[in-house]
Amino acid sequence: MSTEIGAQVGDEARRGDDKLDKRVMLVAGVVVLGAVMSILDITVVAVAQRTFQDIFGKTQAQVAWTATGYTLALATVIPLTGWAADRFGTKRLYIAAIVLFTLGSALCSTAQNLEMLVTFRVLQGLGGGMLMPLGMTIMTRAAGPERLGRVMAILGVPMLLGPIFGPILGGWLIDIASWHWIFLINVPIGIIATIYAWRVLDRDEVHPSESFDFVGMLLLSPGLALFLYGVSSIPAAKQQHGTMFTGQVVITSLVGIALVAAFVPWALRRHNIHPLVQLRLFTNRYMTVAVLTMTLFAMAFFGASLLFTLYFQQVRAESPLSSGWLVAPQGFGAMLTMPVAGFLADKIGPGKVVLTGVVLDTLGMAMLIPVDDKTSYGYIITSFVVMGLGMGSTMMPVFTAALASLKDNDIARGSTLMNITQQIAISMGTALFSVLLTNAYNNHASTVRPTLAIQNGADPAKLGLSPDKAQAIMSQGLHFMGQSFGGVFLVATVLVGLCLVPSFFLPRKPPEHHVDPSAMV
């Protein structure tokens, strides 16, 4: 009898209107609000790096840990999200994540030194790391697989708002108030999000079915954290020691890789039914292809994107606020295509949508290869718009391709796997392009280093330079710095272009409906 009732409910769901109803939109509001806090905070902090150097009297390599510490916390907590959601319920865990993130934000604003700030950023990351995978699980369950493309488009809103408003908001708050407010602004948003989630999300009916993979936690979470710590230390090692092969980089990276490698056979053992991360999902062809596409895309696109504001500030002498406005067109371009891409992913399958997006991403990135210190802003902004159009057609449809192919009880695990992949790829991309830029600068050290020193307030006379000589060196240095960015964008273009290979194998049909009748009673 229960099977008949469940089948009837499933048939009604398939026959029903596939538009996103009021209930789904209310749930989407909760998820988007939480994701906005997490993602916006990353871009806001990025634009404050120079300010942290001045306030705390630290180098760029040292203040970079305000971003790295957050990323390490994300990598540590994301693998735990699937088990914790099963054990405590998605609503309770989501609210707890918001509260933890908000508390971390408030504490960040009280930091008296860089060490305190990095510590509190780690606390922020522990909460922020759970928001996106939990949000995807909540939204997918609320809307169903037949509307997954449009759900992913909604979840892509924070990824639009981050690049658009993060640098602008961060620069504005620093200019009119102080750096403390880039963290304090999260407090009222967090309170609103907590109340909103408590009232809108359905009450948890927890029936724990998974035992905690304690061994997996001891292997994977520290392994990811150590590996990303080592990778994130490469730019600082290159800057301070002239080589990336330092003990800090090599030892921590190798230990991290060893722990992650040890996790693989453990997760695949027959008796391990519920590992911390379900690697058996890779037997799903579309999940595997989506992970490969996400890895290449996140490395290239997000790694290179972090250099955009740096180009404007170092090469074109723009303020944090101005550089924020200049990169905003990328987000506006994505805003145009993301809703359409979500609709098309549901109707014709995500494969064709992603291929189109990758072509646009590659074209937009390729436009930046000839950039230098005199490239017109109109040309650069056009490339940002093209990239934005491509990103809006790529990012969330890849998630759609992965999650739509999974059964309901695998969605949380699939979301966790995709989010881990994204964070690892972003960290590796950031380190890769930072090292490439540092190497390019070192190739013209005789002009670039004095130029950077003068930009940071050094007196040309103390550098042994006359006014005319300083001006000539500054002109040459800015030219070489601009060309250095172009060389980095060449590598990014190649990596984005390689996404065409795995994305060609993504599904080109509408997502199938995985309705489990017994689970719907």
Task: State the pTM of this model.
Answer: 0.77
> Which residue, of 165, 185, 208, is where some domain finishes?
208
Question: Is residue 223 situated within a structural domain?
Answer: yes
pLDDT at 145: 62
pLDDT tens for the chain, 521 residues: list them.
Answer: 333 333 333 443 444 445 667 777 888 888 888 888 877 777 778 778 778 877 888 766 677 778 778 877 877 788 888 778 878 888 899 999 999 999 999 999 999 999 999 999 989 988 888 887 888 778 777 776 667 667 666 666 666 666 567 778 887 888 888 889 989 988 998 999 999 999 888 887 766 666 778 888 888 888 888 888 888 788 777 777 777 788 888 999 999 999 999 999 988 886 766 777 888 888 888 889 999 999 999 889 888 887 888 899 889 988 878 887 888 888 888 888 888 888 888 788 888 899 999 999 999 999 999 999 999 999 999 999 999 999 888 888 888 888 777 776 677 778 778 878 887 888 788 778 888 888 888 888 888 888 888 887 788 888 888 888 888 999 999 999 999 999 999 999 999 999 999 999 988 877 654 433 233 22
- Pair (256, 311) in one structural domain: no
What is the C-alpha separation between 45 and 447, in angstroms, rounded? 29
Question: Is residue 8 situated within a structural domain?
Answer: no
- Pair (186, 75) in one structural domain: yes
What separation in angstroms does the CA of 141 have from each of 18, 81, 137, 151, 200? 14, 16, 6, 10, 14
DSSP label at residue 271: T
Task: Enumerate residues 6+ apart whose C-beta is below 8 A from 200.
Answer: 26, 27, 29, 30
- Pair (32, 142) in one structural domain: yes
Residue with token string 């860089």: 114
What CATH number has the domain bearing residue 395? 1.20.1250.20
The DSSP result for 371-435, as a single string, is: --TT--HHHHHHHHHHHHHHHHTTHHHHHHHHHTTS-HHHHHHHHHHHHHHHHHHHHHHHHHHHH
- Pair (312, 260) in one structural domain: no
Average pLDDT, the chain: 81
What separation in angstroms does the CA of 338 have from each of 358, 396, 420? 13, 8, 22
- Pair (200, 244) in one structural domain: no
Question: Is residue 6 situated within a structural domain?
Answer: no
pLDDT at 340: 86
Residue with token string 């407010």: 181
pLDDT at 19: 62
What separation in angstroms does the CA of 93 have from each of 157, 345, 369? 22, 30, 44
What separation in angstroms does the CA of 114 have from each of 101, 120, 351, 390, 456? 19, 10, 45, 37, 20
pLDDT at 324: 78
Phi, psi of 306 (to 5 degrees): -65, -15
| Count of the separate structural domains present in the chain | 3
- Pair (240, 335) in one structural domain: no
User: Are 393 and 498 a contacting pair, CB within 8 Å?
Assistant: no
- Pair (412, 395) in one structural domain: yes
pLDDT at 445: 84
Question: Is residue 12 situated within a structural domain?
Answer: no
- Pair (80, 167) in one structural domain: yes
Radius of gyration of the chain, Cα coordinates, nearest whole angstrom = 23
pLDDT at 8: 39
Quickly list H helices, 303-349: 303-305, 308-314, 320-348
239: containing domain: 214-273
What is the C-alpha separation between 267 and 435, in angstroms, rounded? 34
Token duo for residue 271: 């008796």
- Pair (191, 333) in one structural domain: no
Question: Is residue 11 situated within a structural domain?
Answer: no
Question: Is residue 222 situated within a structural domain?
Answer: yes
- Pair (195, 263) in one structural domain: no
How many residues are recorded in the chain?
521
Question: Is residue 9 situated within a structural domain?
Answer: no
- Burial string for 252-287 (b: 16+ CB within 10 Å, else e) reads bbebbeebbebbeebbeeeebebbbbbbebeebebb
Residue type (1 letter), 74: L
- Pair (264, 296) in one structural domain: no
Task: Enumerate residues 6+ apart whose C-beta is below 8 A from 19.
Answer: 147
- Pair (134, 242) in one structural domain: no
Question: Is residue 3 situated within a structural domain?
Answer: no
